[in-house]
């Protein structure tokens, strides 16, 4: 692989990490601190429109020979196989909002990284794909890094302490000092 291709891959990885982090933090801040209410579907629509516009801009820069409109029509005519995957992706994005509302940011980050690891695992099982030991080690290191980074966040969230009383009822006890 050439150094130019490696540079592009690193740049894409950094941009995707930045985009995901900003998106997650923005949603958590606007819903949790600012207490704003808005439709999850509108946020998803705006995000997808931004991605489409950026993709069209990039295609226009790369496809000067065939033209943007012609290339986009070609892509649309050949993408009927992707409809099911697009629906799964849309459902995943909706569940993204549900999970952000119901679990903490640290646990959410860990579960998001598990998505990458399970995708690789299922690609091996279902698609008979093989990955090098280096790639598996990288995926595990990514997960371990997120766990180590998120652990202080998770442990700082105070959980109520419960005990079972003599009448076999679950009771909340005061926080230990």
Q: What is the pLDDT of residue 134?
A: 92
Q: What is the pLDDT of residue 157?
A: 53
Predicted local distance difference test score (pLDDT) of residue 112: 75
> What is the residue-level pLDDT of the chain in tens, covering all 177 positions?
677 777 877 887 788 778 777 877 887 788 888 888 888 778 778 877 887 787 777 777 666 666 777 777 887 788 877 777 778 877 887 887 788 778 877 777 777 777 788 888 888 998 888 999 998 898 888 878 877 776 665 555 555 544 555 555 555 555 544
Q: Is-contact 146 107, C-beta < 8 A?
A: no
Whether 164 contacts 171, CB under 8 Å: yes
Q: What 3 state SS string does 67-99 have? A: CHHHHHHHHHHHCHHHHHHHHHHHHHHHHHHHH
Contacts of 41 (CB under 8 A, 6+ apart): 94
Do the Cβ atoms of 47 and 26 come closer than 8 Å? Answer: no
CB 132 within 8 A of CB 62: no
**Residue 177: what pLDDT?**
43
Are residues 108 and 100 in contact, defined by beta-carbon separation less than 8 angstroms? yes
- Whether residue 104 contacts residue 157, with contact meaning beta carbons closer than 8 Å, is answered with yes
- Angle (CA) 98 103 105, round 5°: 105
pTM for the model stands at 0.48
| 8 vs 123: CA distance, rounded Å | 24
């Amino acid at each position: 692989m050439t150094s130019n291709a490696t540079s592009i891959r690193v740049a894409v990885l950094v941009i995707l990490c930045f985009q995901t982090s900003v998106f997650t933090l923005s949603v958590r801040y606007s819903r949790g601190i600012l207490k704003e209410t808005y439709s999850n579907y509108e946020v998803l629509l705006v995000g997808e429109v931004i991605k489409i516009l950026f993709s069209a801009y990039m295609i226009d820069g790369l496809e000067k020979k065939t033209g943007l409109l012609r290339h986009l029509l070609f892509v649309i005519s050949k993408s009927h196989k992707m409809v099911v995957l697009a629906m799964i992706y849309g459902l995943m994005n909706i569940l993204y909002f549900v999970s952000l509302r119901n679990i903490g940011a640290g646990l959410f980050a860990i579960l998001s990284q598990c998505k990458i690891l399970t995708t690789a695992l299922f690609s091996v099982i279902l698609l008979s794909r093989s990955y090098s030991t280096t790639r598996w080690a990288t995926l595990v290191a990514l997960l371990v890094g997120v766990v180590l980074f998120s652990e202080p966040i998770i442990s700082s969230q105070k959980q109520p302490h419960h005990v079972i009383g003599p009448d076999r009822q679950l009771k909340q006890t005061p926080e230990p000092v």
